[in-house]
Chain A
Amino acid sequence: AQTVTQSQPEMSVQEAETVTLSCTYDTSESDYYLFWYKQPPSRQMILVIRQEAYKQQNATENRFSVNFQKAAKSFSLKISDSQLGDAAMYFCAYRYGMDSNYQLIWGAGTKLIIKP
Chain B
Amino acid sequence: KAGVTQTPRYLIKTRGQQVTLSCSPISGHRSVSWYQQTPGQGLQFLFEYFSETQRNKGNFPGRFSGRQFSNSRSEMNVSTLELGDSALYLCASSLVGIADTQYFGPGTRLTVL
B18 within 8 A of A: no
- Judge if A56 is at the interface, Cβ distance under 8 Å: no
Collect the chain A residues with CB atoms within 8 Å of residue B48's CB.
102-103
A95 near B99: Cβ-Cβ < 8 Å: yes
Partner of B104, one of A44, A50, A101, A103: A44
Q: How far, in whole Å, are A50 and B98 apart by their CA atoms in the complex?
A: 11
Known: A45-B104, A103-B58. A33 touches B44 (CB 8 A): no
The reply to whether the CB of A59 lies closer than 8 angstroms to some CB of chain B is no
- Tell whether, in the assembled complex, residue B106 and residue A108 are in contact, meaning their CB atoms are under 8 Å apart: no
Closest chain-B Cβ to A20's Cβ sits at a distance in Å of 21
Nearest neighbor of A32 in chain B, beta-carbon distance:
B99
Tally of contact residues, A, Cβ under 8 A: 18
A47 at the interface (CB under 8 A from B): yes
Is B101 a contact partner of A50 (Cβ separation < 8 A)? yes
Docked complex Cα distance between A33 and B100 (Å): 9
B42 sits at the interface (CB 8 A): yes
Decide yes or no whether B97 CB sits under 8 A from chain A: yes
Cβ–Cβ contact A33 & B90, under 8 A:
no
Contact with B along A80-116 (1 / 0, CB 8 A): 0000000000010101000001111111110000000
**Out of B3, B43, B44, B98, which one reaches A102, CB within 8 Å?**
B98
Give the distance in Å from the alpha carbon of A33 to the alpha carbon of B99 in the complex.
Answer: 6
**Which B residues lie at the A interface, using CB under 8 A?**
3-4, 33, 35, 42-45, 48, 55-58, 90, 92, 97-99, 101-107
The 10 closest A-B pairs by CB, nearest first: A106-B43, A45-B104, A103-B45, A33-B99, A102-B56, A104-B45, A44-B104, A103-B58, A47-B101, A108-B42
